[in-house]
A and B are shown apart, each in its own frame.
Chain A
Amino acid sequence: MQRIFLGHARVGDEVEMRYEMTSELVDQYVRTTGDCNPWYTGHSPFGGPVAPPVLICMQHSMMLSEKFLSRGRMLISTDASYSGPVLVGATIIAKGRIVANYIKRDRQYIDMEAESWSGDGRLLIRDRRSYLPKYSKGRGE
């Protein structure tokens, strides 16, 4: 599927991604951040290894990249609420919807609301994130 410039997104556009929260994804996060919480790779109060909640939120941006070009895009804000732990190995279904496309102080903003659900139907995370399709001012690529 040919991806399009995020600035051309329309309110109502939807994206979806199904993936597994693998130990490799968590290891990637640990190597990138230096956050070596033993719960991410070993036993946790929830049983086995658990994913950092913010990693699931980050997958919402990856999901957006399935449909929209990421080149030049900048994340400006996030607002997330976590409903429960995500165990490593869990299947996650993420869904997002463009809810706003507007100009503020000469810059175009695109807002997406997204949710991640477990394979057995539990809501895991809900967030709203705001992007600049490009940092420089005005609409267009």
Chain B
Amino acid sequence: MRVTIEEIDIGFELPPSSHVIDVHGMNKGELVDSENQKSNAIHFDEQFSRQQGFSSPVATGMTSTFYANQLLTDFFGEDWFSGGSLATKYILPMYFGETIICRARVIGKEKEQAGCRLDMELWAEKPDGQKNMVGSASVLVRTI
């Protein structure tokens, strides 16, 4: 982390991260396995996903949560593992090949006995600003 807790106040925005949703990573026998009966065809079957109302297979709901986790882990380091919380709500489908940008902004800062609690709003958006995930996060900062 490149800043100290004293430099973080309400309104502070974490450095955003940008990702291209990778069909090869998500579908080709990785977290979603087309040969595994327990995998969800909505993530790899063209016909099935269209039957469900989508234009093509959709990325897993956890995709933006993975990227949010990365954003928060990279920024807060070990504090994130020891007492973070993360709530995410997926409001638009995400398709493979799309770019999503994860952002987080501090909306609360409170001193606690063990450190400083930061509350954040976070979201994932397309390059045009349309949000596909909204959420919140909280972390007790001890080490910065």
Contact = CB atoms under 8 A, between A and B. Distances in A.
A34 B87 contact: no
B84 A54 contact: no
A89 interface: no
Contact of B42 (A33, A72, A77): A72
A80 B137 CA distance: 9
Given A32-B31, A52-B73, A83 B38 contact: no
Interface in A112-141: 134-136
Contacts of B69: 35, 52-54
Contact of A74 (B26, B38, B42, B74): B42
A34 B22 contact: yes
A135 B60 CA distance: 13
A65 interface: yes
**Majority secondary structure of chain A interface residues (helix, strand, loop or mixed):** mixed
Given A45-B77, A54-B62, A80 B42 contact: no
Interface stretch (B5-13, B48-56, B105-113): B48-56
B86 interface: yes
Given A33-B67, A135-B53, A61 B62 contact: yes
Interface in B7-61: 19, 22, 25-26, 30-31, 38-42, 48, 52-54, 58, 60-61
B19 to A, nearest CB: 7
A78 B81 contact: no
Contact of A73 (B42, B68, B77): B42
Contact of B83 (A46, A73, A82): A82
A82 B84 contact: yes
A83 B83 contact: yes
B81 A82 contact: yes
Contact of A84 (B66, B67, B81): B81
Contacts of A57: 62, 65
Nearest to A28: B30
Contacts of B98: none
A54 B70 CA distance: 9
B84 A77 contact: no
B70 A85 contact: no
